[in-house]
């Protein structure tokens, strides 16, 4: 009977050794799994932080685009105003040229009146001496 008990103990010892060996392998796998889980958690945390940063950048870009749109609108208005001012300046230049030419026109008219008067006087003198 001792022999049977020894065989049973030996068999149970082998099984116990195999179970302990399996337990060691499972513990190593669990350690690797824990490291992998930590890595995944860290990756998820980094992705969350990256998403938040990208959203903030997107919001800043939208704000910047709105501001640029407002600036472009203001510049377009300024360009329109400058075109209107340019047209007004051209109109004023035409009017100023006409005003500046007016004294010259009056002088020309005065010269023609003087010449016409001299011609009339000469003609009158010539006609009056012709009949006398």
How many residues are recorded in the chain? 132
* Over residues 28-57, mean pLDDT: 93
Distance between CA atoms of residues 94 and 109, nearest Å: 22
The label of the residue with tokens 């998820």 reads 44
Confidence of residue 48 (pLDDT cuts 50, 70, 90): very high
**Paired tokens of 5:** 């008990």
Q: Which helix (H) or strand (E) holds 123?
A: helix 2-131
* Over residues 26-46, mean pLDDT: 91
Q: What is the pLDDT of residue 1?
A: 61
CB within 8 A of 69, min separation 6: which ones? none
What is the CA 130 to chain-centroid distance, rounded?
Answer: 92
pLDDT digits (tens, 9 = 90+) for 50-108: 999 999 999 999 999 999 999 999 999 999 999 999 999 999 999 888 887 777 777 88
Confidence of residue 123 (pLDDT cuts 50, 70, 90): confident
Distance between CA atoms of residues 98 and 75, nearest Å: 34
């Amino acid at each position: 009977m001792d022999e049977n008990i020894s065989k049973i103990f030996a068999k149970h010892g082998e099984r116990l050794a195999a179970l302990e060996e399996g337990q060691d392998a499972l513990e190593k796998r669990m350690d690797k799994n824990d490291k992998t889980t930590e890595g995944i958690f860290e990756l998820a945390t980094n992705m969350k932080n990256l998403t938040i940063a990208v959203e903030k950048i997107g919001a800043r870009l939208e704000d910047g685009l709105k501001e640029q749109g407002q600036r472009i609108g203001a510049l377009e208005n300024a360009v329109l105003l400058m075109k209107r001012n340019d047209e007004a300046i051209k109109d004023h230049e035409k009017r100023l040229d006409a005003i500046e030419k007016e004294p010259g026109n009056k002088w020309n008219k005065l010269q023609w009146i003087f010449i016409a008067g001299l011609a009339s006087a000469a003609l009158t003198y010539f006609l009056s001496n012709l009949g006398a």
